[in-house]
Structure 1
């Protein structure tokens, strides 16, 4: 990949989250459609309200999360907000019990990069068996030692992603186009319908 032309974002998403979210969405839509088509009285309205409330939430926590690492910035799309971090504002990235990025006075989780302790334990076993140098592989501030990826050993996906993001931050932090302060945008397209649907569902269930 050229540094001058054809640069593409590094995109990180949770495959398991997307698969699980798709299946759950299909189930909710199927049940709600059945209630709307075949239900009687309030059942149809309850099914409709549940559909409006739960579909945005399922989408938000499973299909929406993504991390885009480009030449100028890191964009973290979490369930209810999108955080845009120019590389110059990124102060640190780590994978502890969750993947986190530090910028300004804030700490932001990266939902799209789940941390698997099982993968870490597997990496630790293989690195010990192969004689690879390793650092602390679990707990707060967990990192992998520089150069470990060159040993051919297995590495946890979250730690690979964090290392790649850290390299990009160091490479582009001084670029003129990568300057600026963090910005946060709330996902009102998720929040508003979920809130409206939830309020309608509660009213139908408890107020009659």
Structure 2
């Protein structure tokens, strides 16, 4: 989960540095779906739980607060205009399409209680991962709808942050598969996808930077 929070923070940071409101739409919508879904699940579980109800309620309230903040961000960015409609390459659209397909497939399976992750998850963690991955997939899908360099920078930042924080632990997990019950082939596939998006984001970030110089 740390990698998800880190990548989300990176997307917000890049948006702030780039000083554009339009990309905030995609980040806010993806966060409303991802963290809003997590919050709703945790709050509902807190009403049914016989144990750890206070912990579930606490995290559900944090998720709800985060959802409200992103709703305000979305309201602020709702009528924002795209300053530059310079499109990024079609090859990047295909990469984003792959990310959308994988994220939707994995996230929906996790939300509906179907085993789909690289290692064994408890039911609550599977659903939480599912909602956050669904939000990430929506983020990438939004970039396909509006394929402009102005929009893509926060997502590239998120990919780089996600890959930076997750590559090492995944490699360590492959070397030491007894730490947690893993499905080896899925860990390999997960690592390859993370590396692919990480390296692709670096390449396109450099290309985009030089295009704007």
**TM-score where L is the length of structure 1:** 0.27
**Quick check: which has more Rg, 1 or 2?**
1
Higher RCO (CA-CA < 8 Å; seq separation 6+): 2
**TM-score where L is the length of structure 2:** 0.26
